[in-house]
Amino acid sequence: MMRSFVVAVALTGVLITVSALPARAADDGQAPAPAPAAAPAAPDAAKTGSQFHGNVTAGLQFQNGVTGAWGGMFDGTLTHPYSENGTLIAHANYNYAKVLVYQSQDVDQVQTDRTLVSLGAEHNYGSHGVFMAQTGYLRDPLHEIFSRFEQLAGYGYRLTTASKRVDFRFVPGVSALKEDTYVEGEETWQYGLGFYQRLTAKMDKTWTFTDSLTYRHDFRANDLSVEASASFTGALTKTVGLQVQYEYYRETFVPPGIAPYQQTMQVGLQVKF
């Protein structure tokens, strides 16, 4: 408090001295001295897009008995605001699981082997508008999707409560993809319609619920894909949490004898930064 008072007194003295100088200059017939220019304001770090945020979740599974199983999962998201209303979003997800039946030497089967990577941007418009564009890559050898490159874009609706405890987004849009699958034929670009939905709800100080759903339907008849997930995350510390997640995938064209869908339950530790 004393330091602030001394600075205030010193500044007041400078102002008095400066204001007194022009009066003397006028008496001497000289032009008054110009006032010093104000220093430019420092830029707001939150608006310059210099912050990175994200989370990483990892888990393992093991089983031993009549059957043996092992596997793991990795899920990571990184966000970076490029403006006050826009955010870049990178996401990566990998799941792998393998089962072995000890009584039969012939049963040694991979249950899950799926890699999904995406990079996109979301830009808010007005109070409730949002534009989304995303480029994604998928590899799922179990369903003989050896590669799939997809571009999604759409404009939709967003709702965020005043307390920011609930954030909801629904974005219908168009899809363009090129894939290499077990279906023989020329690899050409395919087009379709679909939507993306995401909900994040903070239930209390500890638990957060998150779900997402991506649906795409090609202009070709009876060709669709679904990617859905729902998770509960409980905070153990400010940066570490326990996550329980359910994932569901569905493809229309799969090899004979392979189920068109895949369901997994996962438990892992999540680290936020």
Q: What is the pLDDT of residues 63-116, one digit of tens each?
A: 676 667 788 899 999 999 999 999 999 999 999 888 776 665 556 677 788 999
Q: Does residue 120 carry a pLDDT above 70? A: yes
pLDDT of amino acid 266: 85
43 Cβ contact partners less than 8 Å away, ≥ 6 residues apart: none
Q: Please tell me the total count of domains within the chain.
A: 2
Query: In terms of residue numbers, what domain contains 26?
Result: 1-35
Q: 239 and 158, same structural domain? A: yes
pLDDT of amino acid 69: 75
Mean pLDDT, the chain, integer: 81
pLDDT of amino acid 48: 46
Q: 228 and 106, same structural domain? A: yes
| Mean pLDDT in residue range 135-164 | 93
Q: 85 and 3, same structural domain? A: no
Say what the pTM is.
0.74
Reported as a single tens digit per residue, the pLDDT across 21-76 is: 344 444 445 555 555 555 555 445 444 445 899 999 998 877 676 667 788 899 99
Q: Does residue 178 carry a pLDDT above 50? A: yes
Q: 133 and 155, same structural domain? A: yes
Beta strands in the chain (DSSP E): 53-63, 67-81, 86-101, 108-125, 129-140, 145-160, 166-181, 190-202, 207-218, 224-235, 240-251, 261-272
Top-confidence residue, 197 or 104 = 197
Q: Does residue 216 carry a pLDDT above 90? A: yes
Phi, psi for residue 260 in degrees, rounded to 5: -75, -5
Task: Say what percent of the chain tops pLDDT 70.
Answer: 76
Q: Does residue 5 carry a pLDDT above 90? A: no
Q: 51 and 24, same structural domain? A: no
Top-confidence residue, 266 or 159 = 159
Instruction: Say which CATH number the domain at 119 has.
Output: 2.40.160.40
Q: What is the 3-state secondary structure (H, E, C) of 163-210?
A: CCCEEEEEEEEEEEEEEEECCCCCCCCEEEEEEEEEEEEECCCCEEEE
